[in-house]
Amino acid sequence: MDTLRIGLISVSDRAANGIYQDQGIPALEAWLSRALATPFTTETRLVPDEQPLIEQAICELVDERFCHLVLTTGGTGPARRDVTPDATLAVADREMPGFGEQMRQISLRFVPTAILSRQVGVIRKQSLVINLPGQPKSIQETLEGLKDGEGKVAVPGIFAAVPYCLQLLEGPYVDTHRDVVAAFRPKSAIKEINN
């Protein structure tokens, strides 16, 4: 079986220039380790807020490293230097608008400025590329969703849809730890995994 390959791109001028320690990639790696029941490998890139360099990192991870999933963090706001969504759309074959819509819905539960986020989800070749927010707490919230006082999902996180999307793109079958985020797929698409 094909091992799940995940590309992680942190977009930050200051972290890329060594002014401060990047928090995006460590937050993503920690969350994926908790959430995924399927074995996976990661390829990481730390790039400044420069559209050609972000485009290059996405293309390299998809076209040369054959990542099934690429997650970016940072650079999704309205500021002049926030160009991650522009770079992502520039190299996309198809847009997946539901990812951005749901991330904004989750973030609006916390801050009214969530409507300023320009995060997108796209398909490039056979890979899913998703722009995530820059803050570790926001990364977790958008991936995992929000749970009520009894631990039931109140607002689904975007990662619930990722395994089925990868399956539709003919990628590996991905399973998650249900206590973190429950992967959703139609009954006809569920495979029994023998551990």
Q: What is the pLDDT of residues 125-174, one digit of tens each?
A: 999 999 999 899 999 999 999 888 887 888 899 999 999 999 999 999 99
Query: Percentage of the chain with pLDDT > 90?
Result: 79
Instruction: Give the mean model confidence (pLDDT) for residues 100-112.
Output: 93
Residue range of the domain that includes 183: 4-189
Mapping DSSP onto H, E and C, the string for 44-74 reads EEEECCCHHHHHHHHHHHHHHCCCCEEEEEC
Whether residue 195 is contained in a domain is answered as no
| Mean per-residue pLDDT of the chain | 93
Q: In 3D, which of 182, 137, 180 has the Cα closest to residue 161?
A: 182
Residue 148: both structure tokens together: 């009520």
Query: Do residues 128 and 96 lie in contact, with contact meaning Cβ atoms separated by under 8 Å?
Result: yes
The count of structural domains within the chain is: 1
Whether residue 129 is contained in a domain is answered as yes
Provide the pLDDT confidence category of residue 18 given band limits of 50, 70 and 90: confident
Query: Percentage of the chain with pLDDT > 70?
Result: 97
| CA–CA distance, 19 with 103 (Å, rounded to integer) | 28
Provide the pLDDT confidence category of residue 193 given band limits of 50, 70 and 90: low
Condensed to tens digits (0 to 9), the pLDDT of residues 43-75 reads 999 999 999 999 999 999 999 999 999 999 999
Whether residue 81 is contained in a domain is answered as yes
Number of other residues whose CB lies within 10 A of the CB of residue 154: 13
CATH code of the domain covering residue 163:
3.40.980.10
Whether residue 194 is contained in a domain is answered as no
